[in-house]
Amino acid sequence: MLSRTAESLFWLGRYTERAANVARGLAVASRMASLTDELNAENDQWRPLLVAAGCEPAFFEHHGEATEEKVVDFLVRDPANLSGIIPCFSAARHNGRSVRTALTVDMWSALSDSWTRLRHVTPADYQGEKLPGFLEWVRERVLLFNGAAMDTMLRGEAWMFVQLGTALERADNTARLLDVRHDLLSATAQGSTVQHGQCQAVLQSVSALRAYHWTYRERLDPARVAEFLILRPEMPRSLAACYDRVVEVLELIASVQGGRKGECHRMAGEAQAALRFGRIEDILTSGLHAYLTQAIDGVTALGGEIEAFYIRA
């Protein structure tokens, strides 16, 4: 496959996933903001969201205060924020358009129809009461895109690079979401309303609250939540599951290329092994924040190695 095509597909996977993750994050924050005062007094919902999206510095370059309206606008529409929902869709569509031939008609329609609508979206369509409905729609559009890829795409290299982008972006997002709330998750004080609310928020933002109940069958416990999102392979958005996927796809690419492998394969395998055999107690003892910071850097480094091996070689 053409390197440029691989690059566009990889970023197509990353941008669509990122748009959905921002929508998930926003949905949870908006939900939390509407709950008890106690929760909001302790820690407002909007600033952590900016941190999780990795765009806190950019936000404060343009705005003095993180009010709901400003944060929502920044994360949905503002062209200054390349990780916002609409800019992500725009970038995804641009990448998709430049490799139009590698996509199926269904994938293209999912992408292009979303973009056609987003182009005409105004703040009136996503501020205030309209926000939950709008975010739901964004999530559904990305689910449709992923479903179209899953159901219609030839299992060739094109498919593999989209999957690689999706899995890597998802790992990055999960690590960031946890990191934003690492203080509360590693705190020893158990059972406060605030902590319970935070645990809920983290799980809901990865659509995993019910999955947690099914897996642990006990009340929300910060250490279990961290374990669930870092180490449990059956949780499809956990770091472990994302790395399983990354390794699997990298192996597939290597096998269609006659076994050709590089540093990215070693790196991904190493991270996967650590996740497979790691224990949450050890992670918490040595510090959740330090661990997650390293994980986020690890995803960035792996992304760089993948590009170096397949795209810029």
Residues at the site binding other proteins, with contacts judged by CB under 8 A: 1-6, 94, 97-98, 100-101, 105, 108-109, 112-113, 116, 157, 161, 253, 257, 260, 310-311, 313
Please state, in angstroms and rounded to a whole number, the distance separating the CA atoms of residues 253 and 257. Answer: 6
Minimum Å distance from CB 312 to other proteins? 9
Residues 254/279, Cβ–Cβ less than 8 Å:
no
Decide whether 133 or 156 has the Cβ nearer to other proteins. 156
Decide whether 216 or 309 has the Cβ nearer to other proteins. 309
Minimum Å distance from CB 33 to other proteins? 37
Radius of gyration of the chain (CA): 19
Residues 12/142, Cβ–Cβ less than 8 Å:
no
Minimum Å distance from CB 167 to other proteins? 17
Decide whether 101 or 122 has the Cβ nearer to other proteins. 101
Residues 74/63, Cβ–Cβ less than 8 Å:
yes
Decide whether 63 or 94 has the Cβ nearer to other proteins. 94
Minimum Å distance from CB 149 to other proteins? 17
* N residues, the chain: 313
Decide whether 59 or 161 has the Cβ nearer to other proteins. 161
Minimum Å distance from CB 99 to other proteins? 8
* Greatest distance between any 2 Cα atoms in the chain: 59
Instruction: Please name the amino acid found at residue 40.
Output: N
Decide whether 45 or 114 has the Cβ nearer to other proteins. 114
Residues 193/230, Cβ–Cβ less than 8 Å:
no
Classify residue 121 by its DSSP letter.
-
Please state, in angstroms and rounded to a whole number, the distance separating the CA atoms of residues 156 and 150. Answer: 12
Which residues fall within 8 angstroms of residue 267, CB to CB, at 6 or more apart?
298, 301, 302, 305
Minimum Å distance from CB 107 to other proteins? 12
Give the position of tokens 């999780």. 52
